[in-house]
Amino acid sequence: MTKIIFMGTPDFSTTVLEMLIAEHDVIAVVTQPDRPVGRKRVMTPPPVKKVAMKYDLPVYQPEKIKWIRRIRTIASIRCRFNCNCCFWTIIT
């Protein structure tokens, strides 16, 4: 089974993530940090994090691009594929 690190944030990404979970071994999820939402500014996790938590997957929520590079470097040792679906930044 192919080991995958999934990177995404919005609702659209959840569909892709669930499809990958059904067919492959998703070993980690990278998404945006929780953000305040609404008038009361309640901290709310991104949709992708909710799905990852449902399947007990490790979730990384880096604030800065440097952290993303570090996570990618560490995780690339263990995975064969990185799926980027509607991620909020360009990764080089």
Query: Per-residue confidence at 8, pLDDT binned at 50, 70, 90?
Result: confident
Domain regions of the chain by residue span: 3-85
> Cα 31 to the chain's mean position, in Å?
4
Digit-coded pLDDT (tens) for 12-68:
899 999 999 999 889 888 888 999 999 999 999 999 999 999 999 999 888 776 666
Of the candidates 88, 71, 89, 87, the one whose C-alpha atom is nearest the C-alpha of residue 79 is 71
- The beta strands (E) that lie in 9-78 are given as 25-30, 35-37, 42-44, 59-60
* 3-85: CATH class: alpha beta
Higher pLDDT, 72 or 53: 53
